[in-house]
Structure 1
Amino acid sequence: MTTSPRTAKRAELEANLDYIRSVPHKGIDEARKFTSATLDEVRDVMNIKI
């Protein structure tokens, strides 16, 4: 019996729960970098010192 590529990928991901848990954290880290830089720029333009 052959398995579809989706079934095989799902099984691979289910076997690696640490990876599954790390994906949202990587996205959050990237978003923080972007928003931090944007907020720094906004604060500079608005002459807000923190």
Structure 2
Amino acid sequence: MTGVKAVTAEVTRWKRMGLGALGVTGMAAAALASLVTAYWHDICRVLRGG
């Protein structure tokens, strides 16, 4: 029974780590999207060469 508890604890830890990584990725994507939205006019001007 001790082995089963150890495996269950490890799988739970993996799930927590996965959700944590997903949350960090989501926050980074939101920050990048905010920057692009805020500077969209400038980005388009630079890309068009003007």
Same fold? TM cut 0.5 = yes
Gaps of 5+ in 2: 38-50
Q: Does 1:38 align with 2:21?
A: no
What is the aligned-residue identity percentage?
6
Runs of 4+ residues deviating >3 angstroms: none
CA RMSD of aligned residues (A): 1.4
Within 5 A, what are the aligned runs for 1:1-50? 14-16=3-5, 17-47=7-37
Q: CA deviation at 1:15?
A: 3.8
Q: Which of these two proteins has the greater Rg computed from alpha carbons?
A: 2
In structure 2, C-alpha distance between the alignment counterparts of 1:37 and 1:30, rounded to whole Å: 11
Taking structure 2 as the reference length, the TM-score comes to 0.57
